[in-house]
Chain A
Amino acid sequence: MQDTDDFRVKRINQMLLEMAKGNFFYSLEPSDKNDNLASLMVMINMVKEEIQASFIHQGFVSTDRTPQFLIQMSLIIDENGIVEMANQKACGILLRMRNAILGSPFTDLLTESSQKKWNKKMKTFLKRKHLDTSIKLSFKTKEGLLISKNCTVTNFRTLDGNSSKIIVNTVLFSNAEPDVKGLWKNAVEPGKESKRRKIRLSHGDIQKIRNVHDMILNNLESDPPHLKDLALQMGTNEFKLKYGFKELYGTTVFKFLIQERLRKAKTLIKYTSKSLKTIAHMVGFKSIPHFSRAFKEKYGRTPSSLRS
């Protein structure tokens, strides 16, 4: 029944409606089928992920006012795996009545694979003395849409000391206006710093800065030209590039370059037997001490310590 066209079209409609409302945390359950509808579902999921990323990304503040709202989802689960508490928002997100959640097994809210994962882990969660961990769970709404999220898991002993309980917590981003009064206060508003924005970026500017970003990514091993020349080459000016890049990617051009070089280097160190010198040169570092220093700064350990 899950694979009938009618059923799948209904899910797609629900998913698109949620997206239109600004809720990008839902997704469609992937199916085994290989037909046009399945490919449309895959496409919607991927498009959603890209939009979601750009919302959470500071880059989207360029549209000036995109208040984002945090929605907290909290659940308390007892020793038998039964949900004891679920906040109102959690019920809303899961599109379920509170009564239907409370007193029912927590696993009823999860997809099959997450159920297995949870059942495997729950006992250890309860036993541990101090638990503060995270686990990726996929929740299923009543309508069958999925929410996959990293959840923080904490446990506590009840005051009478008789039993242990687990708190599952996660925070979702939404672009939809909250329907509860007072939530405005909790909205993620641009900080003071971003309010004092010095420049305004047009769509053309953003595109140019993205091109710089891509150019750096694709030419990591060679040193980019001086910022001023780079800006001229891309048809913008140094000032816009400098501040625009920071605004879009949250870091400076130079730091971004180093960060991406180090990412590649880390993978090469871990999974190949190439010498550190070769790797440093491969990813674009000219001096080995500089490479080691930058590496240690970012990952907290020296490149050679990854080998031993």
Chain B
Amino acid sequence: MKKHHENKYAVYILTKNLIHIMYKRGEGIDLKVAQIVVRDRMMVQEGQAMPVLCDIRELRMVNKEARDFFAIEGSLLIKALAFWIAPPVTDTISEFYLSTQRTHIPTKSFSLKSEALDYLRTALLIAVMVWLIPL
């Protein structure tokens, strides 16, 4: 069950367990671009909340309006988020985002894809356990 979608700014792959977003190299993300990226992600997800692997290795700029948008509207329907980064630039961007925006979604950055995927799996498992414990 794989679903593929692509726009000018990113590629989306929906697998059984998660959605994988790969940003393309471009001029940078402003509010308009952020809105398109989020809109398409939600369309691909068809209303289902899920873990997101976000490959930002090619990003070079995300402006404040876009960051603010990602933290509020852009965080909808995300169960856990892993940034796949390539230090130092995208490391700086993700660290800055995570320390200035207080998003309530479990989020972490990784240089290795395998570690990012492990994190998402664990985060999801914890979420399920928290949900089950009261039962």
Do A and B belong to a common assembly?
yes
By a beta-carbon cutoff of 8 Å, the part of chain A in contact with chain B is 30-36, 38-40, 42-43, 45-46, 49-50, 52-53, 113, 136, 148, 214, 217-219, 260, 263-264, 266-268, 270-274
- B76 with A42: CB separation less than 8 A: no
Q: Which residues of B contact A35 (CB under 8 A)?
A: 88-89
Asked if B39 contacts A270 (CB within 8 A), the reply is yes
Q: In the bound complex, how far is the Cα of B91 from the Cα of A287, in angstroms?
A: 43
Whether the Cβ atoms of B61 and A30 lie closer than 8 Å is yes
* Given A35-B89, A214-B102, A267-B76, 4 more pairs with CB closer than 8 A: A34-B86, A42-B93, A43-B92, A113-B27
Number of B interface residues in the complex (CB < 8 A) = 33
Q: Describe A's contact surface by its main secondary structure.
A: helix
Please indicate the chain B residues that have their CB under 8 angstroms from the CB of A260 in the complex: 72
Chain A residues contacting B91 (CB-CB under 8 Å) are 39
Q: Is there contact, CB below 8 Å, between B60 and A30?
A: yes
A53 touches B88 (CB 8 A): no
| Nearest CB of A to B129, in Å | 21
One digit per residue, 1 when the CB lies within 8 angstroms of any chain A CB and 0 when it does not, for chain B 92-113 equals: 1100100010111000000000
Write the B65-83 contact mask toward A (1 if CB under 8 angstroms, else 0): 0010000110011000000
Given contacts A49-B64, A267-B73, contact A272 B42 (CB under 8 A): yes
Query: Which B residues lie at the A interface, using CB under 8 A?
Result: 25, 27-28, 30, 38-39, 42-43, 45-47, 60-61, 63-64, 67, 72-73, 76-77, 86-93, 96, 100, 102-104
Q: How far is the CB of A307 from chain B (nearest CB, A)?
A: 13
Contact present for A271 and B42 (CB under 8 Å)? yes
Distance in Å from the Cβ of B63 to the closest Cβ of chain A?
Answer: 7
Contact residues in A for B93 (Cβ distance below 8 Å): 42, 46
Given A50-B64, A264-B73, A268-B76: A34 touches B88 (CB 8 Å cut-off):
yes
Residue numbers in A under 8 Å from B39 (CB-CB):
270-271
Name the CB-closest residue of B to A31. Answer: B60
Query: Known contacts being A39-B92, A271-B43, is A32 close to B104, with CB within 8 Å?
Result: no
Residue of A nearest to B40 (CB): A271
A94→B79 CA distance, assembly (Å): 46
Residue of B nearest to A267 (CB): B73
A264-B61 in contact given A46-B96, A214-B102, A272-B42 (Cβ < 8 Å): no
Known A38-B88, A263-B73: A274·B47 in contact at CB below 8 Å: yes
Q: Which one of A43, A53, A218 lies within 8 Å of B104 (CB-CB)?
A: A218
Instruction: Report A207 CB to chain B, min CB distance, Å.
Output: 13
Q: How distant is A247 from chain B, measured CB to nearest CB, in Å?
A: 20
Of B43, B60, B76, B88, which contacts A36 at CB under 8 A?
B88
For the complex, give the distance between the alpha carbons of A49 and B62 in Å.
Answer: 11
Q: How far is the CA of A33 from the CA of B87 in the complex (A)?
A: 11
Which one, A38, A50, A268, contacts B89 given CB within 8 A?
A38
Return B95 CB to nearest CB of chain A, in Å: 9
Are A43 and B96 interface neighbours, CB within 8 A?
yes
Query: In the complex, which of the residues B47, B100, B102 contacts A218, with contact meaning CB atoms closer than 8 Å?
Result: B102
Contact A267 B88 (CB under 8 A): no
B27 to A: closest C-beta gap in Å: 6
Question: Which chain A residues lie closer than 8 Å to B64 at the CB level?
Answer: 46, 49-50, 52-53
In the complex, are the beta carbons of A272 and B63 less than 8 A apart? Answer: no
Q: For A271, what are the chain B residues with a Cβ–Cβ distance below 8 Å?
A: 38-39, 42-43
CB <8 Å contact, A42 and B72: no
A35 to B46, CA, bound (A): 38
Query: Which A residue sits closest to B97, measured CB to CB?
Result: A46
Kindly identify which residue among B47, B72, B88, B90 contacts A217, using a CB–CB cutoff of 8 Å.
Answer: B72
Tell me the bound Cα distance from A34 to B59 in angstroms: 10
User: Is the CB–CB distance between A39 and B96 below 8 Å?
Assistant: no
Q: Could you pull out 8 A-B pairs where Cβ atoms are within 8 angstroms? A: A34-B90, A42-B61, A46-B93, A49-B63, A53-B64, A136-B30, A219-B104, A266-B73
Residues of B within 8 A of A274 (CB): 47
